[in-house]
Amino acid sequence: MYLSTLITLTLAGAACAKPIKKIKRQTIQDTYDFIIAGGGTAGLVIANRLTECPSTRVLVLEAGPEPGVVANYMYPGGNQNLAGTAIDYNYYTLPQKNLNNRILPYHRGRGLGGSSAINGLYYGRGSASVYDHWVQLGNQGWGWDDLYPLSIKQTHFNPPNLNDSFDHSFQTWDPTAYSNGELQIAFQGYVPDSNVGFIRAGEAIGIPIVNELNNGNNTGVKQGTGCFDSRLRRSSSYDAFYKPVQNRTSLDVLHYASVTSIQFTKGSNGASRATGVSFTDQPTGQFITVNATKEVIVAMGAFNSPQLLMISGIGPQAQLSQNGINPVHINENVGQNLNDHCVFSIMALVEQTASTSSMSVSASTLEAAQQQFLDSLTGPYTAPSGITNGFQQLSNATLRAIGAQAVLNAGLVNQSHVEFLYESLFYPSGLAFLPSSGGTSSTGGTSSSAYYVPQSNLSYISLTASPLVALSRGSVTLKSASIFDAPNIDPNYYSNETDRVVAINAFKDLRKLLAHPAIAQFTIGPNNGEVQPGLAHIPANASDDTIFDYIKANTIPNWHASGTCQMLPEADGGVVDSHLRVYGVQNLRVCDVSIIPRLPDVNLQGPVFMIGEKSAQIIKEDYNLQC
Ligand SMILES: Cc1cc2nc3c(=O)[nH]c(=O)nc-3n(C[C@H](O)[C@H](O)[C@H](O)COP(=O)(O)OP(=O)(O)OC[C@H]3O[C@@H](n4cnc5c(N)ncnc54)[C@H](O)[C@@H]3O)c2cc1C
């Protein structure tokens, strides 16, 4: 009886749009023009833009809750407390063979807003050359001159409050890089002196102080920009692109709705066409199929978008047959080419005022900091741990000298090669980030806490390096044919030798940064306060292998997974074409971080917001939607 009800609904959908009354908490139709699977960073931008056309009916299906179920998502200081909450998938990687077989936690937003609701808040766009490279790879329309105006259009800059005692010297911006868009950009509130010291210290490793990083030149350092509104609340995709338009009658958004498969039909020409999706409505427990007259748009992120394609029959032959999935289109590239940035840090003991660690010394200090934020928008809770990043471009001569000729061969010039991040606390904390609690892990590797265990009554800063070259590629594969089984995530960090040499060079630069008087003045103890790894473990003249031993033990993701549904010609490893249409089928696109063919030299939410905007522009043009 249940099945026949479903079928009736599906057939009825083809003829007319009736509300699916079975979902009591919210009535939705059984047919839409577009169905967006995944209400995350890109998905909600696309939903907003498509429903600017009032007659275009859009349904967004999001697996997780509204982000407000974890209210700390909104606050800068709350961002250290989102891992493992109800809005985090809390995935794990496969053992990383080049990192002592360590298994790394991999956070990922689960809820409306997606990862933009749990991320570190840093906002950047990257270098123009990165996007121009995408065009050279075969993606017409994706150059910097195409994307930059879209990025300007969707952002708004909120000037800082200058009536406080902080040093505002480096809170500079170019007003022409922003407009009156929905996404709110601002500087953090509380600025420890060591943060300003970090900016000045960039000169130790050739990072110039610049006025703006978001206008196509992403080499340099300044006070970083974050996704905040004028009251220092997070501006996620949910806040910026969904909430203001939630009453549009052409837009339905269902959260706690997990898409389980894409439905296809075969046309008379033999081609498979996406006709809709099936999903599980979690609150009612019902399985529903809903139809799309125009398209299904997959925006489930770097791990779940390729997972859904494979589960629905689009993927590598072996993946489909091993999991008993009927093939719709064999494409060996789906889930392959996972490309990510990773990070490692050195940590120093500092004066209390140079850090925000003291905020977390005890429950009462944390409570007081939070209250101060809520009462007066001041204090350390107005600062996320780290959104002041320096972007270093290595000269061709340096790249050759360190053995990174491959960077030049790959054409990664006119861009930054390493990101240096300032964190106003001990990051990453070995105990929090690794499955074992010190010494040798269950998987045979050494954990970060073997070097130093941070003390709750002391204050720290961390200097972090993220090689942006990232030539290593990994994969996302299926554990089973169920969307509810987390996929196998293998970033395969440091499988490419060039990533290793760039990282070792970056480690040496981290120590140069820490030794610069602009930072060293705030440190306590010998060796510029360095407590991890410390000279006892990694001496000043340590060999590259010894340095890499530390990197292997300390590396965690920078959360920039991408590339698993690359936008490239299929013969070159692609899953989608330059209009984001999935090869081999009709009426199906992927529009999220997974389409990135070559990682930008920056953190990814700025690029993903641009991808969302560009996707909507392409779809509107393809359907001649005039709005
Ligand atoms: C911990 C963390 C910190 C980060 N820090 C920064 C930073 O400081 N600055 C920066 O620029 N970038 C940062 N990033 C990266 C950036 O946030 C992401 O690259 C970007 O948000 C990805 O956007 P997306 O739209 O591709 O995916 P997401 O925003 O992750 O959206 C995917 C959505 O699909 C939903 N979904 C998945 N499966 C299903 C299903 N079966 N059915 C329905 N819905 C489903 C998910 O729940 C999610 O809402 C960070 C990321 C993380 C995880």
Read off the pLDDT of residues 594-625 as tens digits, 9 standing for 90 and up.
999 999 999 999 999 999 999 999 999 999 99
In single-letter form, the type of residue at position 312 comes to S
> What pLDDT sits at residue 4?
35
Q: Which atom of ligand 1 is nearest to the CA of 113?
A: 49
Q: Which atom of ligand 1 is nearest to the CA of 260?
A: 41
Output the CA 115–ligand 1 centroid distance in Å.
Answer: 3
**pLDDT category, 10, cuts 50, 70, 90?**
very low
> What pLDDT sits at residue 579?
98
> What pLDDT sits at residue 24?
58
Question: Residue 241 is encoded by which pair of tokens?
Answer: 């692109």
In a mutational test of the pocket of ligand 1, which residue from 104, 261, 300 has the highest number of ligand atoms less than 8 Å from its CB? 300
Distance CA 566, CA 572 (A): 9
Q: Is 239 exposed, middle or buried (0-12, 13-18, 19+ CB in 10 A)?
A: buried
Output the CA 527–ligand 1 centroid distance in Å.
Answer: 38
In a mutational test of the pocket of ligand 1, which residue from 115, 303, 484 has the highest number of ligand atoms less than 8 Å from its CB? 115
Write out residues with Cβ below 6 Å of ligand 1: 37-43, 61-64, 107-111, 114-116, 118-122, 258-259, 299-301, 304, 483, 559-560, 592-593, 603-606, 608
Output the CA 162–ligand 1 centroid distance in Å.
Answer: 33
> What pLDDT sits at residue 19?
60
Does residue 398 form part of some domain?
Answer: yes
- The answer to whether 92 touches 104, Cβ cutoff 8 Å, is yes
Give per-residue pLDDT as tens, 445-471.
344 556 898 898 899 999 999 999 999
Does residue 548 form part of some domain?
Answer: yes
- The answer to whether 539 touches 440, Cβ cutoff 8 Å, is no
> What pLDDT sits at residue 13?
37
Give per-residue pLDDT as tens, 366-400.
999 999 999 999 999 999 888 999 999 999 999 99
Q: Would you list which residues are annotated within the binding site for FAD? A: 259, 559-560
Output the CA 271–ligand 1 centroid distance in Å.
Answer: 32
What's the average model confidence in pLDDT over 156-182?
Answer: 95
Question: Residue 626 is encoded by which pair of tokens?
Answer: 């005039």
CA 13 to chain centre: 36
User: Which residue owns the Cα nearest ligand 1 atom 37?
Assistant: 300
What's the average model confidence in pLDDT over 321-343?
Answer: 98
> What pLDDT sits at residue 622?
98
What's the average model confidence in pLDDT over 62-74?
Answer: 96
| CATH value at residue 390 | 3.30.560.10
Distance CA 608, CA 480 (A): 28
> What pLDDT sits at residue 443?
34
Does residue 385 form part of some domain?
Answer: yes
Distance CA 93, CA 82 (A): 19
The parent domain of residue 207 ranges over: 144-236+340-472+495-557
Output the CA 425–ligand 1 centroid distance in Å.
Answer: 24
Give per-residue pLDDT as tens, 207-230.
999 999 999 999 999 999 999 999
Which of 125-134, 162-171, 307-316 has the lowest average pLDDT? Answer: 162-171
User: Which residue owns the Cα nearest ligand 1 atom 35?
Assistant: 38
Output the CA 457–ligand 1 centroid distance in Å.
Answer: 34
If DSSP states are collapsed to H, E and C, what string results for 282-331? CCCCEEEEEEEEEEEEECCHHHHHHHHHHHCCEECHHHHHHCCCCCCEEC
Which of 6-15, 39-48, 584-593 has the lowest average pLDDT? Answer: 6-15
List all residues 6 or more positions away from 130 whose beta carbon is below 8 Å from its beta carbon.
144, 415, 598, 599, 600, 601
Output the CA 306–ligand 1 centroid distance in Å.
Answer: 14
Choose between 153 and 436: higher pLDDT: 153
Output the CA 41–ligand 1 centroid distance in Å.
Answer: 6
In a mutational test of the pocket of ligand 1, which residue from 61, 66, 85, 605 has the highest number of ligand atoms less than 8 Å from its CB? 605
Q: Which atom of ligand 1 is nearest to the CA of 120?
A: 8
Q: What mean pLDDT, rounded, does the chain reach?
A: 92
Q: Would you list which residues are annotated within the binding site? A: 259, 559-560
Closest-CA residue to 379 (of 391, 367, 394, 396):
367
Q: Which atom of ligand 1 is nearest to the CA of 603?
A: 11
> What pLDDT sits at residue 269?
86
Q: Which atom of ligand 1 is nearest to the CA of 606?
A: 11
Does residue 134 form part of some domain?
Answer: no
In a mutational test of the pocket of ligand 1, which residue from 559, 580, 592 has the highest number of ligand atoms less than 8 Å from its CB? 559
Query: How many separate domains does the chain show?
Result: 1
Give per-residue pLDDT as tens, 526-537.
999 999 999 999
Output the CA 604–ligand 1 centroid distance in Å.
Answer: 10
Does residue 74 form part of some domain?
Answer: no
538-557 burial, b at 16+ Cβ within 10 Å, e below that, comes to beeebebeebbbbbbbbbbb
Q: Which atom of ligand 1 is nearest to the CA of 124?
A: 11
Which of 13-17, 331-335, 536-540 has the lowest average pLDDT? Answer: 13-17
> What pLDDT sits at residue 320?
98
Give per-residue pLDDT as tens, 243-265.
999 999 999 999 999 999 999 99
Per-residue CA distances from 106 to 84, 181, 303 (Å): 10, 31, 10
Give the rounded percent of residues in the chain with a pLDDT score beyond 70.
Answer: 93
Does residue 327 form part of some domain?
Answer: no
Question: Residue 256 is encoded by which pair of tokens?
Answer: 């706690």
**pLDDT category, 5, cuts 50, 70, 90?**
very low
pLDDT at residue 126 tops 50: yes
Evaluated on CA atoms 217, 222, 225, 231, the torsion sign reads negative
Distance CA 113, CA 293 (A): 25
pLDDT at residue 32 tops 50: yes
Question: Residue 221 is encoded by which pair of tokens?
Answer: 């350092």
